[in-house]
Amino acid sequence: MSVKKEKIIKKLPQKIGVYKFLDSTNKIIYVGKAKNLRKRVGSYFSTKTSGKTLRLINKIDDVKYILVQNELDALLLENNLIKKYQPKYNVLMKDDKSYPWIKITKENFPKILFTRKVVNDGSDYFGPYKSTYVINVLIDLFYDMFYDSGWTPITLLKNKVNSQKNEKYQEIIKKIKSILKGNLKILINQLTIKMEKESELLNFEEAKKIKSKIDLLKDYRSKSIIVSSKISNVDVFSLVSNSLNAVVNYLSIINGSIVLSHIMEFKKRLSEKDEEIMRLAIIRSREVFNSKSKTIYSNIKISEIYENVNVFYPKIGDKKKLLILSERNAKYNLLEIERKKLKENERSKTKPSLIFLKKDLRLKTIPIHIECFDNSNIQGSLPTSSCVVFKNGLPSKKDYRIFKIKTVTKADDFASMREVVFRRYKRVLDEKGDLPDLIVIDGGKGQLSSAKESLKRLGLSGKIAIIGIAKKLESIYFPNDKIPLFIDKKSPSLKLIQTIRNEAHRFAINYHKKRRLKSTLSSALTDIDGIGEKTAELLIKKIGSVRRIYETDLDILSSIIGKKKASLVLTGLTSVFENATGEV
């Protein structure tokens, strides 16, 4: 995975939403939904893929997202966006998981049908709906509208109609389309009248059935923010800002569904007011996307922009929830701008030595983040490696790491370097951490080649600058270059490299000393004449470390292993600790 894609994934929030993959021409090539945007998008690049998925991954140049409040909203929005953009790598509807639609055919006498497939056949499609039950109720109600007007299946099949009846049929279809576009109030009012009539006739069972249908329609109308019968053909704008930047999120609502989410970023130059920026954003968006909506929801109060276009500032209900959703998208994008600014500020405070280092090593960028590796062992025993981290020319000790060599059993500096570099950056990739701008290897061509092999295995070859520094002449080695570079001894860049290398060496040596001392002390008990493995194990189990055993009173030791052995242990450990140096 490229560094660019890694950075894109890291910026994604761990929230429910819909993501869009864009290619190098900024065209949407795939739309998907996720409970956790970062985790889902990252999974495309962290698992082995082939065929169509691999072709998709290779074409991804950028990732955009829209946040929603729940999984249902994500599914509905995903379907709406797929229908609108018809991305190359998406199926229009997923037969096994997609929600149902109502289809009105394009005929002289249109049919009203239930379907799970949306095809380009000229028919009108309405949905998707949360359940087939809602669709069945609606279709039953629509059939009742035809029966109430004297239409029967026989007359429909024989098409025995005159022009007057044809007009009546088309009027019913027109009313049904209006209902399906969100105007459920017409249907609820008709059902309410029916229910009252049945009650007057004492047909309470029938009235109860009608009431359950009314309740269902009201419940359906109120639950979804993404597909809401109360919100139709609306432009939603929200603005969030700080002293330097502003972000505006634009949501286009068509027939009760979000069909577009667009982010605009503004850099303040003359301390522009939020109202001024919002007006500009509204004008630009409606012009670019050719919006004809007569209603705008905004979180910023603005003066009139267009004639016959009403601007509202929702305070409660579904309209307010939709505005909150838009604000959430804007806030995440503003947060991203602030993060970028923070990084730019860090780079602007760059130490001069880093600028010299970039020039001397012919690097593409200033190496703000540098990591250095060093090995330590004595005749192959207890091999240890260190990784020190410098950020902006200063040690970042919280990021230091120590490695106990696992795969090398004898003195092999090259194999040790190969192991630790692989372990270090495999974990960074797995945890989606920050990769360094420069890796420094304490050693010459051999150690450098070993480190390079590990980077290649991880797919990082050529993506991170790496050098080796040989102690003898302080010569700098580059991959695939036999001739070393000799930097001026007085150069700030060489002094920085030496400082980092020396810190890695110090950190590795100190830890290695601790390991040697610990190893010496762990065998200290069995080295004492008269003390065997079972006695040593018993003491370690009861008391803990060798130091604690040394500090324990004779009486306590005697109660565990007897007075004679206790005396031997204390005498033997006293000589060990008096001769040992360093920490235990």
- The mean pLDDT of the chain is 80
Residues of the chain with CATH 1.10.150: 523-579
State the pLDDT at residue 584: 35
Residues of the chain with CATH 3.40.1440.10: 3-85
CATH of 3-85, one of 2.60.120.620, 3.40.1440.10, 3.40.50.300, 3.40.1500.10: 3.40.1440.10
Q: Where are the alpha helices (DSSP H) in 443-545?
A: 445-457, 492-522, 533-543
Q: Which of 62-71, 82-91, 403-412, 487-496 has the lowest mean pLDDT?
A: 82-91
CB burial of residue 493 (10 Å; 0-12, 13-18, 19+): buried
pLDDT over threshold 60, residue 580? no
Three state DSSP letters for 187-202 = HHHHHHHHHHHHHHCC
State the pLDDT at residue 379: 58
Instruction: Tell which wins on pLDDT, 346 or 484.
Output: 484
Looking at the domain that runs over 354-518, which CATH code has it been given?
Answer: 3.30.420.340
DSSP state letters, 141-200: HHHHHHHHTT--HHHHHHT---HHHHHHHHHHHHHHHHHHTT-HHHHHHHHHHHHHHHHH
State the pLDDT at residue 99: 53
pLDDT over threshold 50, residue 63? yes
**pTM of the predicted model as reported, rounded to 2 decimal places:** 0.38
DSSP state letters, 220-258: HHHH-SSS-TT--SEEEEEEEE-SSEEEEEEEEEETTEE
Q: What average pLDDT does range 352-377 have in this prediction?
A: 89
pLDDT over threshold 90, residue 131? no
Q: What average pLDDT does range 1-20 have in this prediction?
A: 83
Percent pLDDT > 70 in the chain is 82
Q: State the pLDDT confidence band at 226, using cuts at 50, 70 and 90.
A: very low
State the pLDDT at residue 423: 93
| 511-555 pLDDT, tens digit each | 877 766 555 555 667 778 888 878 877 887 788 777 788 888 888
- Which fold is adopted by the domain 523-579? DNA polymerase; domain 1 (1.10.150)
For residue 153, give Cα distances in angstroms to 17, 105, 143.
44, 17, 10
The distance of Cα 243 from the centroid of its chain, to the nearest Å, equals 27
Percent pLDDT > 90 in the chain is 19
Q: Which of 6-15, 159-168, 321-330, 377-386 has the lowest mean pLDDT?
A: 159-168
Instruction: Tell which wins on pLDDT, 345 or 216.
Output: 216
Residue 278 CA to residue 301 CA, distance in Å, equals: 9
| 190-221 pLDDT, tens digit each | 888 888 888 888 888 888 888 888 887 776 55
Q: What average pLDDT does range 52-74 have in this prediction?
A: 82
Instruction: Tell which wins on pLDDT, 446 or 532.
Output: 446
Residues of the chain with CATH 3.30.420.340: 354-518
The answer to whether the Cα torsion of 559, 560, 565, 569 is positive or negative is negative
Going by the DSSP 8-state scheme, the letter that residue 399 receives in this structure is: G
CATH of 234-344, one of 2.60.40, 3.30.70, 3.90.320, 3.30.420: 3.30.420
List the one residue out of 424, 435, 486 whose CA is nearest residue 462.
Answer: 435
The answer to whether the Cα torsion of 154, 160, 166, 168 is positive or negative is negative
pLDDT over threshold 90, residue 448? yes
